[in-house]
Amino acid sequence: MVADKRVGILGSGDVAKALGKAFASHGYDVKLGTREPKKLESWSKETAGKVSVGSFADAARHGAFVIVATHGDGTEAALELAGPKNFAGKLVLDTSNPLDLSKGFPPGLLFGVTDSLGERVQRKLADAKVVKCFNTVGSPQMATPKFAGGPARMWICGNDAGAKRETETLLRELGWAGALDVGGIDGSRWLEAMVPLWVRAGQALNTWSHMLQVVT
Ligand SMILES: NC(=O)c1ccc[n+]([C@@H]2O[C@H](COP(=O)([O-])OP(=O)(O)OC[C@H]3O[C@@H](n4cnc5c(N)ncnc54)[C@H](OP(=O)(O)O)[C@@H]3O)[C@@H](O)[C@H]2O)c1
């Protein structure tokens, strides 16, 4: 259980709504941030628990920890609007993926191998503790995950050991078996690269509730 239960979520899409609903159902005080708060009016009315909506900056200020759930292409712009100083000292969970759909489906990556969105988020929020998390599963499986193969651990990476321990606590609270920590934030290069593969595996298996896991 995390002591300070205020969570800010940057985003108005499926990920922000799924994680917002999940954290609210676990007693967290959730604020979603968007450029257009009006579009989340019905979502906030229909969602049980303590949920509110504001600007990106409102959400970043609100959270004792903050989740980045913005489109890969717009993530750095969203952080600029949110105000990097509003993240100082905080755990930031980055769910975003730099997917390139310019050549259609399945996607590639806008950039990778020598850089990643996780690293760009950490560079932009130099005083925050960024952990890449949730980017490797579909939004319906982010909380209370159910896999035919049994309990699973979430892929994470980040530079701060304490932030990763806090992330694992949050993951367990949402029903994960724990975290699979692949090292520093530069590991985002490979966690983001898993997503075009995840899409191709989904096409091959005709499912979107799967996850890539390691078997030893
Ligand atoms: N959907 C999934 O199942 C899934 C799973 C794993 C990871 N992800 C990743 O999680 C992130 C969120 O995905 P999503 O499907 O929930 O939503 P999305 O459609 O990818 O992103 C929507 C959010 O991005 C913001 N945004 C888009 N362009 C922007 C710009 N130029 N400047 C500022 N903000 C901008 C939107 O802001 P407004 O609210 O102001 O419109 C909105 O909040 C993505 O990076 C995605 O790759 C998604």
Q: With left for phi above 0 and alpha for psi between -120 and 50, is residue 206 left, alpha or beta?
A: left
Is the Cα dihedral 173, 156, 127, 123 positive or negative? negative
Query: 165-177, pLDDT tens digit by residue?
Result: 999 999 999 999 9
Query: Residue 90 above 70 pLDDT?
Result: yes
User: Which protein residue has the closest C-alpha to ligand 1 atom 47?
Assistant: 97
Contact of 60 with 10, CB cutoff 8 Å: yes
Query: 104-128, pLDDT tens digit by residue?
Result: 999 999 999 999 999 999 999 999 9
Compute the distance from residue 12 Cα to the ligand 1 centre, in Å. Answer: 7
pLDDT given for residue 48 in this prediction: 98
Q: Tell me whether residue 41 is exposed, middle or buried, using C-beta atoms within 10 angstroms of its C-beta: 0 to 12, 13 to 18, 19 or more.
A: exposed
pLDDT given for residue 183 in this prediction: 98
Query: Residue 2 above 90 pLDDT?
Result: no
Query: 181-204, pLDDT tens digit by residue?
Result: 999 999 999 999 999 999 999 999
User: Which protein residue has the closest C-alpha to ligand 1 atom 14?
Assistant: 13
Which class is 6-205 in CATH?
A: alpha beta
Q: Say if pTM beats, i.e. exceeds, 0.75.
A: yes
Q: Which residues, judged by CB distance below 6 Å to any ligand atom, belong to the binding site of ligand 1? A: 11-16, 34-36, 69-72, 74, 77-78, 95-97, 99, 135, 138-139
Which residue in this structure is represented by tokens 């499912």?
Answer: 207
Mean pLDDT, the chain, rounded, equals 98
CA pair distance 69, 75, nearest whole angstrom: 8
